Amino acid sequence: MSVAPDGVWAGKKPPKRLGGMAEALSIASDLGFSIPPFQEDSQSISNSSTVDKSDDLIRVLRELTSVQRNIANLQVELQGRKDDKNVAHLTHVSEMEKKCESLARMTAILKDVIQNKDRIIARLQQPYSLDCIPVEAEYQKQFSELLLKAASDYGALTASVADFQWSQNFREPPSVWGEMLRPIPSALASCTRFFEAMSAMRDSFATLQQLRVGHSLPMTPSDSTGDSKFTTPPQWKDGTTSDDSMAGSWRKLETDNHEAEDSDAGDSINHRRLSWPPPLKKGL
């Protein structure tokens, strides 16, 4: 086994312990194999990297602290601006100037209203007229008719919309619809009969009124036309047509029948009402 010269061992670090892993590694390096660094070298490298990481961590912590300080300052400034905005209408001169300008405008408007109150009251008391819409004079009549038609159409449209909304809001089943629609025909028939009865009653009252008016008109002789106490029926003054004569004859016939029916039952009552009580005899 050859011994290495002194120059070879001079540049190498002697191992701390011979016969172990260090000797095997040294032999492997002598043979040309690459070996990892020793523990001390790795420790020094790790220590240097740890120092560098510690420096980076300290730098990052300092930057983070400065950023947090800036954020705190910004939060304080933001809160101050919020508070300033809440009391700006009380503290800022510009806001007070805006308020003064608005108050000046309102004061001017109120002064105009007070000065022209009579004209305003008179205008409000005037009825609504269509002349507020500028229309040519030749088209005013047609425009008025158009507005009247539009008003009626608008009323019908409003009623239709109300009915449509009601039908949309009505969520009942068809059986309920049937129960609601069933009494409508009988109600219509009752209304028809009631209307016919009212019409007949109206005709009866009109006939009765005509009969009463015919009885109340006094008969005056032809030579007493100047007397203001008596009046001549207008059909005798102006003359009557064929229709008037027929109506008069029918009315006279109705009057005669009515008098014939009531003559027997009402003679005693009429005589009793129109007769004076018998005079009292003083001797008795």
- Rounded CA-CA distance 99/235 in Å is 84
- Rounded CA-CA distance 177/171 in Å is 10
Tens-digit pLDDT profile for residues 208-219: 988 888 766 555
The pLDDT of residue 197 is 93
Tell me which DSSP letter residue 222 carries: T
Token digits of residue 241: 């047509």
DSSP-based three-state secondary structure for 31: coil
The pLDDT of residue 265 is 46
- Rounded CA-CA distance 266/255 in Å is 15
The pLDDT of residue 3 is 46
**Cα torsion angle, 10, 13, 17, 23, sign:** negative
The pLDDT of residue 13 is 52
- Rounded CA-CA distance 195/201 in Å is 10
The pLDDT of residue 200 is 93
CB 251 within 8 A of CB 208: no
- Rounded CA-CA distance 157/228 in Å is 60
The tens-digit pLDDT sequence of the chain (284 residues) is 444 444 444 445 554 555 566 777 777 777 777 665 555 555 666 666 676 777 888 888 999 999 999 999 999 999 988 888 887 777 778 888 888 899 999 999 988 888 888 888 887 776 665 556 666 777 777 877 887 888 778 878 888 888 888 877 877 787 887 888 888 889 999 999 999 999 999 999 999 988 888 766 555 544 444 444 444 554 444 444 444 555 555 566 566 655 555 554 455 444 444 444 455 554 44
CB 252 within 8 A of CB 210: no
The pLDDT of residue 68 is 93
The pLDDT of residue 198 is 94
The pLDDT of residue 36 is 59
